[in-house]
Amino acid sequence: MVIVVVAPGQGSQTPGFLSPWLTEPAFADHLAALSDAAGLDLVRHGTESDADTIRDTSVAQPLIVAAGLLTLGALLDGDRAAKLGGIAGHSVGEITAAAGAGVLAEREAMRFVSERGRAMADAASLAPTGMSAVLGGDEQQLLARLAELDLEPANFNGGGQVVVAGALDALEQLKAEPPAGARVVPLQVAGAFHTRYMQPAVEHLAAVAASLAPADPALPLWTNRDGSTVDSGSAFLELLVGQVSSPVRWDLCMASFQEAGVTGIIELAPAGALVGLAKRGLKGVPTVAVKTPDDLPAAIELIEQSA
C-alpha cells in the first residue's frame, strides 16, 4: 500500500476549528510553540477569532500551516513517517509538506509562512483583485476566455474545477458571460494569488528564503509546479518562493499520485477540500480527513496497514 499525506491550502479554515485540539495539553503546548515561532496568537485565532479575522491572509496562512503541523506531530509519532509513500501540499500547504518531509524545521516553516502571508496581503492591497472558481465547461475554452479578459488560471484542481484570478471587474465579466457549460463562483479571498499580481511577494520571499537552511526531503515530496517529485531541499524552497505567483497544478499532483500507485490519502487539518477533490479525481482510493483528534485513529490505522 502507498499512503500519501496531503496538506490543504487557504480557505479551508473555519472559526473555532482548533478548539477540539486544544482540549489535550500536548496539542495546546505544541500550538503555543508554533504561535511563538509565527509571532501570532494562533491559539486565539484558532478558537475565538471570527470568520473575517481568520480570512485575513496574514492570519489564515500561519493558522493553516500550524494546524497541519499539529496533525503531523500526532500522525507521524514513532516510526510511522517511514511507512508513508510521500507528502504534498496545496498552495500554502506546501510549507506544511516541506516541514513534514524534513526540508524545513517547524520554526523555519512558521517564520516562512508568516512572511508569506504578510507579503501576499501587502501585494493584494496594491490593486482591487480577487479569485473565482470555475466549475465545469471546457478547459481550453476557459483559457481562451481568460486571455480575452486578461485573467489568469491560478489553481488547476482537477475534477473540472479551475480557480481563476485577476481584476475584479474582469471576474464580474467572466461570471456574467462564462464559457459554455461553466459556472463561476466568486471566492472570499483578498487578492489574485498565484498570478503576476503577487510578484512583489515573490521578491520579498526570495530574501527570506536566503536566510533558511533547507535539508533534502526524507520522503517523496511532490511540487505544485508540475506534479513531479523533488529530491533537493534547496530546489523545493525555490519552488515555494516561485509558486506564490504561478499556478497551482493540483491536477498534476493527483495524476502523479495515481501513477505512483497511491492506495490511500490522509488530509491534514483543517481537512476536507483535498479529500473532496480526490474522491472525484482518484475514484475508489480510500481517504481520511483529519478534522479533529477523533479522526486520528482512522488515519493511523491506514498508515499501519501500509507496513
Q: Which residues are catalytic?
A: 91, 194
Q: What is the DSSP letter of 152?
A: E
**What SS3 class is residue 229?**
strand
Residue 86 zone, left/alpha/beta (φ > 0; ψ -120 to 50; rest): left
Sign (positive/negative) of CA torsion 155, 215, 235, 278?
Answer: negative
What is the Rg, in whole angstroms, of the alpha carbon atoms belonging to the chain? 18
What distance in Å separates the CA atoms of residue 179 and residue 185, rounded to the nearest whole number?
A: 13
Residue 127's nearest CA partner among 173, 170, 174, 178 is 170
Helix (H) or strand (E) holding 73: helix 57-75
Across the strands, what pairs with 135?
A: 161, 183
Run of H or E including 148: helix 139-149
